[in-house]
Amino acid sequence: MAKKTISGVTVDVNEEGYFTNPAQWNKEMAVEIAKEEGIHLTEKHVAILVFLRERFAKGEALTIRSVGNSGLVDIKGFYGLFPGAPMKKAAKIAGIPKPASCI
């Protein structure tokens, strides 16, 4: 298992940089990870990150469709907030493992 220092804290990550222990995450880390991904976090971003973390904690499947049905943002908006690979980027920034739905 790899280690990475984010916001002055060393965390456990896998070879792709996703947290292996979501409990190590905090919002300050999200800001730093987002910068690495070229994203400036807004309140809308944070709401989606919290949504994903809550669903992950419940053991629910994380999909683009579930975000689109969340009432927080539609699918087009989700792509706009996390361009390129929205679920992969959002999961990484949220400090959760890469969803199984992502390649």
Instruction: Tell me the catalytic residues.
Output: 102
- Which tokens sit at 57? 């904690």
> Which of 25, 20, 23 is closest to 3 using CA atoms?
20
